[in-house]
Amino acid sequence: MKQYVSLFALSVLSLHVSAVELAKHPQVFDAGQGVSLALAPSADGKQALVQVRGINHPLDEVVFLTDIRELGNEQRDYGIRLDGRDYNLLNKRRAWGGESYQLNLPNTQGFELSYDESKTKSLKTGDLLALYQKQEKDGLQASLAAFDRKQRVADYSARLEEMDGEASKACATPLGTKVNWSALSDEQLMSLSVPSFCGEVVSQMAYLCGKDDRYKAEAKTLKGVDCRFGEGLKLHEKDGQLLFTTHPQEANQGDFINAILRNR
């Protein structure tokens, strides 16, 4: 369940936002396919209101008060808090042809933005600020900022099921990866791509089955993978189940798993 900040915290934030003075010259950018982005910097250049429109995503039409991180040479990141993590929603970079802006949305490729003069002229910063204040009072930005553990586990589980399905097809036998989600902390779920670690075993199995049909016979003797995070890399079989212990700091995990599987 998503967490919401207290009413007291919301009122403090609302007062803070009301005190923000916006610069006189906002910008609107076009990303193609009906996607646009409004950017209204604060007068002191430390923050900016950013709104993305025309996307099939929970962030659609939400106005964020972003914190600007200067990188030098007129390059900067526009950061928000999203799903329990700091997230760069917008980047400004220097390129051979001049400055460029890129919009970043979770689980999608970045959108290259181009300046839209006509939409810029019609943008009213007062309306943008008023909408931000209303959404902030309703707790919309706070709900997006809070970590949703249930959704993260569901997303990771779905990705592991996809990887299991690909391996099952390649090896012509049902394979599944189990993870003890309750053993993982919120911090681990936020900072680690669990499918990238726990799904590596079935990925290597799929590779071996695709390379040599003889390994398919080996795969048929296995029920699946039990994955956990520990102090180092381990992989062994017990009663037809592959018990895999991984660690985020261990390098070359695919090579390690591949070697174990080939020499069972």
pLDDT tens string, the chain, 264 residues long: the values are 344 343 334 343 444 445 688 999 999 999 998 999 999 999 999 999 999 999 999 999 999 999 999 998 889 999 999 999 899 999 999 877 788 999 999 878 789 999 999 999 999 999 999 999 999 999 999 999 999 999 999 999 999 999 999 999 999 999 999 999 999 999 999 999 999 999 999 999 999 999 999 999 999 999 899 999 999 999 999 999 999 999 999 999 999 999 999 987
- What is the reported pTM? 0.71
**Hey, which residues does 87 pair with through a beta bridge?**
80
Four-residue CA torsion sign, 153, 158, 159, 161: positive
Tokens 């970043």: give the residue. Answer: 104
d(CA 77, CA 155): 27
Four-residue CA torsion sign, 149, 152, 158, 159: negative
